[in-house]
Amino acid sequence: MNFMNSSLVFFGAGKSKICAGCTVALETLATLLAEPGDVFLIPAPYYSSFVDDINERAGVLALGVPCDETLSRDAFEQAYERVTGEGKRVRAVLFSSPNNPIGTVYKEEAIRSLLDFAMEHDLDVISDEIYAQTVFDPEAHFVSTMRLVPDAYRHRVHVTSSFAKDFVLSGFRTGMCFSFNPDIIQGFASITYYSSVSSHTQSLLTALLKEPELGEIMELSRKRLGKAYRIFSRGLAEMGIPMMKAQAGIFVMADLSEYMEKQEFSAEQVLWDKIYNELMLNISPGGLFGCERPGWFRACYAFDEDTVEEACRRLQMLKK
């Protein structure tokens, strides 16, 4: 994966495993690292399915840690105190880098702060880098968590990814785990017998990664993402809708609270219903992602220009 060299460390043989999607990679890590009832801390807002991915089979509990893009330690320390005070064990920190839903590309200092916290408390770190190739903001600089961890702690950090987002191949169900921990790699080899990827699909994806034009294609993809983001954020700005600045991914968080009758999470559902059924736009209420304050919604802008412009026109109808 030459085009990834700028961001990822080199993973040789025996340091990665594939399985039927990133969901499985996260579920497998939860199974291998924790006992049912253990807790993973996750910076909030977080990808809502993280909660199910680690809980449904592995029984691990997700706890959102409200924090900004600096991932400062105070919030994590407080969450850690709370969990251990309840007699539960914190086993790992799980975060998406770049972040879904807020689209942040974490700065090195932010990731180092999280790593310091994890090392201090003897926690593993799962860095889900499924959006690593979608960074469209020229000012953002993505660095894999694996590059920032001190060598002595490298076996405690596990990176997951997939072809679903970077390559827009979500149906291909091909996820990966990269780890320098041989026990984790061996555990994957055993468990993912139940979620193997077809050799037919592996063959196509191998050819894709060897394609000389891939770098240019990915660059084009990022340019288009950036353009769609600019159209959509301009549309929101024209309506006076506050939003979080995104630098990567396919989503933006927009504050639609002024269109809610009450500043309560139940009102998010009412507004969602109106937007879905009247405007026929499908955006997701922030309560799903562990937002602290009601009124945030996650919108996907990864469409062609006409579709994004049409979405902006429809959102204008909220003003009536």
Give, as ranges, the residues between 67 and 96 that touch a copy of itself (CB under 8 A): none
Closer CB to a copy of itself, 55 or 269, in the complex: 55
Residue 130 is among the residues annotated as catalytic for this protein: yes
Identify the three-state secondary structure at position 212: coil
**Minimum Å distance from CB 205 to a copy of itself?**
9
Q: Which of 42, 165, 250, 255 is catalytic?
A: 165
CA end-to-end distance (rounded Å), the chain: 50
Question: Contact between 57 and a copy of itself (CB under 8 A)?
Answer: yes
Interacting positions 235-294 with a copy of itself (CB under 8 A): none
- CB-wise, 150 or 171, nearer to a copy of itself? 171
Shortest spacing between CB 128 and a copy of itself, in angstroms: 16
Active site residue 259: no
Among 294, 232, 287, residue whose Cα is nearest residue 258: 294
**Catalytic residue of the set 128, 137, 166, 255:** 128
Q: Of 170, 136, 207, 176, give the one whose Cα is nearest residue 8.
A: 176
Calpha distance 90→210 (Å, rounded): 40
Whether 47 is catalytic is yes
Decide: is 166 part of the binding site for a copy of itself (CB under 8 A): no
**Rg from Cα positions in the chain:** 20
- In the complex with a copy of itself, the residue whose CB is nearer, 204 or 279, is 204
Residue 128 and residue 42 in contact, taking contact as beta carbons nearer than 8 Å: no
User: Which residue in 119, 140, 204, 270 binds a copy of itself (CB under 8 A)?
Assistant: 204
Q: Can you list the alpha helix ranges (DSSP code H) found in the chain?
A: 22-33, 50-55, 73-85, 108-120, 145-148, 182-191, 199-210, 214-238, 265-277, 305-316
- Least Å from the CB of residue 172 to a copy of itself: 5
Q: How far apart are CA 273 and CA 290, in angstroms?
A: 19
| Residue 13 backbone dihedrals phi, psi, to 5 degrees | -60, 145
Tell whether residue 51 is a contact of a copy of itself (CB under 8 A): no
Calpha distance 102→47 (Å, rounded): 9
**Does position 207 bind a copy of itself by CB under 8 A?**
no
Task: Rule CB under 8 A: say whether 198 interacts with a copy of itself.
Answer: yes
Q: Which of 2, 84, 147, 194 binds a copy of itself (CB under 8 A)?
A: 194
Residue 165 known to be catalytic: yes
Contact residues for a copy of itself, defined by CB under 8 A = 20-21, 23-24, 27, 57, 171-174, 193-201, 204
Active site residues per annotation: 47, 128, 130, 165
